[in-house]
C-alpha cells in the first residue's frame, strides 16, 4: 500500500509517514508510532486507502489536545488508590486536606499567578502577620487599654509595616524591563509574561513549524548544458511568483567562490526566455511527481510530498 500522510500538525513530524494496514501495535503506543492509523487533521500526501472510522470529534487525538487546552484545574483532589483500585479511609482525609490547602492557597494567592506574584503574596502575608504582632505588643505594653490613643497607636504601628510604594516601584521596574526588551525586538503584550520570563531557566521549543516553516525548498539545480541555477530566499516557498534566480556556467563542485562570477539575480520568467534546457528540466520535474501547487483565494498552497513540492 502506497499511502502516506502529513502529521506535522499533530506530531511535529516534518516528513510524511507511510502507513501500514496489517501491522498491530500495543495499546500504549504513542500516536507518532501508530503506523496503522490515519489521524484527523492530517493530510494525505500520497496514495489511496480505505479505512474504518473509530473516533470522531473530541475522541480523536487532536480532540484530546483541544480538551487538554480547555481543561481547568479541578477544585477537589481525587484520593489515591491502591494497586487493586481500592481507596483506604485515610486517603479521603488526605484528599480533603489537600483540597482545603489548594483553596486557601488560591484565596491567599500563594499558589496561583506568576512566580513574582506568588512571592509578593507570601510577602504580604508575612507583613500582615508582623503588623498584627506589633499591634499586639503595643496593646500589651499598655495593658490592653481601650484608650483611643493606644488603639490608634497600635493601628499606626501595624500600618507602618505596609510598603506603600512597593506597587509603584514594581510597575516602574517592569516598564523599564519592557522598554529594554523592545530595543531587542521583543514585544511584550502583558507585564505578567515578563514576570514569568524572569523565572525561566530552560527553554524547550519545537523546531518544525515553530522555529522553521516545516517546508523543503530547492536551493540549486544543475543542468549540464547550461550550468547551475541558484534560488534566493523567499518568504513563501510554494509561491512561484516571488523570489529571484541567479545562474553561473559551472557545475556545483566547480562553483565560483566570489559573487562576481554569478549573473545578477533575476525573476524566473527572464531565465525561461529562449531557454529550452531549463524548460525541459522544469517539465520533467513537474511530470515526475504527484505533488500539486495551486492558488486559492490569492494564496499559493501545496499538497503532496514535501520533497516533490520542493
Quote the cell numbers at residue 295.
492558488
Quote the cell numbers at residue 302.
501545496
Q: Which residues pair with 247 in a beta bridge?
A: 229
- Does residue 214 carry a pLDDT above 80? no
Of 251, 257, 264, which Cα lies nearest the Cα of 222?
Answer: 251
- Among residues 33, 206, 270, 280, the one annotated as catalytic is 206
Of 254, 256, 230, 255, which Cα lies nearest the Cα of 244?
Answer: 230
Q: What separation, in Å, do the N-terminal and C-terminal C-alpha atoms of the chain show?
A: 24
Per-residue pLDDT tens over the stretch 20-51:
888 888 877 888 888 888 888 888 888 888 88
Rounded CA-CA distance 145/147 in Å is 5
pLDDT score at 217:
78
Mean pLDDT of 265-283: 76
Q: What's the mean per-residue pLDDT of the chain? A: 78
pLDDT score at 306:
74
Rounded CA-CA distance 99/76 in Å is 5
Rounded CA-CA distance 246/248 in Å is 7
* Active-site annotation holds for 206: yes
H helix runs in the chain, sequence order: 8-11, 61-70, 89-108, 115-141, 148-159, 166-182, 191-197, 268-272, 276-287, 306-309
pLDDT score at 36:
86
pTM, full prediction: 0.46
Residue 142, classified by CB atoms within 10 Å of its CB into exposed (0-12), middle (13-18) or buried (19+), is middle
Per-residue pLDDT tens over the stretch 92-102:
888 888 888 87
Rounded CA-CA distance 199/99 in Å is 27
- Does residue 264 carry a pLDDT above 70? no
Q: b/e for 235-262, b at 16 or more Cβ within 10 A? A: eebbeeeebbbbbbeeeeeeeeeeeeeb
Residue 258's pLDDT band, with cuts at 50, 70 and 90, is low
For residue 225, report the phi and psi dihedrals to the nearest 5 degrees: -80, -15
Amino acid at each position: 500500500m502506497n499511502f502516506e500522510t502529513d502529521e506535522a500538525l499533530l506530531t511535529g513530524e516534518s516528513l510524511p509517514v507511510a502507513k501500514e494496514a496489517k501491522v498491530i501495535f500495543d495499546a500504549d503506543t504513542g500516536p507518532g508510532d501508530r503506523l496503522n492509523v490515519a489521524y484527523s487533521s492530517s493530510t494525505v500526501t500520497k496514495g489511496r486507502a480505505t479505512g474504518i472510522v473509530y473516533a470522531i470529534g473530541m475522541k480523536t487525538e487532536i480532540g484530546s489536545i483541544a480538551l487538554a487546552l480547555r481543561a481547568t484545574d479541578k477544585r477537589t483532589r481525587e484520593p489515591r488508590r491502591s494497586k487493586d483500585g481500592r481507596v483506604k479511609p485515610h486517603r479521603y482525609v488526605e484528599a480533603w486536606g489537600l483540597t482545603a490547602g489548594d483553596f486557601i492557597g488560591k484565596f491567599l494567592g500563594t499558589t496561583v499567578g506568576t512566580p513574582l506574584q506568588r512571592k509578593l503574596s507570601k510577602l504580604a502575608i508575612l507583613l500582615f502577620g508582623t503588623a498584627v504582632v506589633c499591634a499586639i505588643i503595643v496593646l500589651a505594653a499598655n495593658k490592653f487599654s481601650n484608650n483611643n490613643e493606644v488603639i490608634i497607636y497600635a493601628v499606626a504601628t501595624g500600618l507602618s509595616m505596609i510598603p506603600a510604594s512597593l506597587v509603584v516601584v514594581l510597575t516602574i521596574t517592569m516598564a523599564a524591563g519592557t522598554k529594554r526588551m523592545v530595543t531587542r525586538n521583543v514585544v511584550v503584550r502583558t507585564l505578567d509574561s515578563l514576570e514569568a520570563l524572569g523565572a525561566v531557566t530552560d527553554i524547550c521549543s519545537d523546531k518544525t513549524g515553530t522555529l522553521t516553516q516545516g517546508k523543503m525548498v530547492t536551493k540549486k539545480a544543475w543542468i549540464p548544458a547550461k550550468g547551475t541555477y541558484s534560488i534566493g530566499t523567499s518568504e513563501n516557498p510554494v509561491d512561484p511568483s516571488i523570489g529571484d534566480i541567479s545562474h553561473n556556467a559551472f557545475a556545483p563542485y566547480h562553483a565560483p567562490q566570489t559573487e562576481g562570477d554569478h549573473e545578477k539575480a533575476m525573476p524566473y520568467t527572464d531565465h525561461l526566455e529562449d531557454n529550452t534546457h531549463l524548460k525541459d528540466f522544469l517539465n520533467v520535474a513537474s511530470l515526475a511527481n504527484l505533488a500539486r501547487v495551486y492558488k486559492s483565494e490569492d494564496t499559493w498552497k501545496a499538497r503532496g510530498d514535501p520533497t516533490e513540492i520542493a
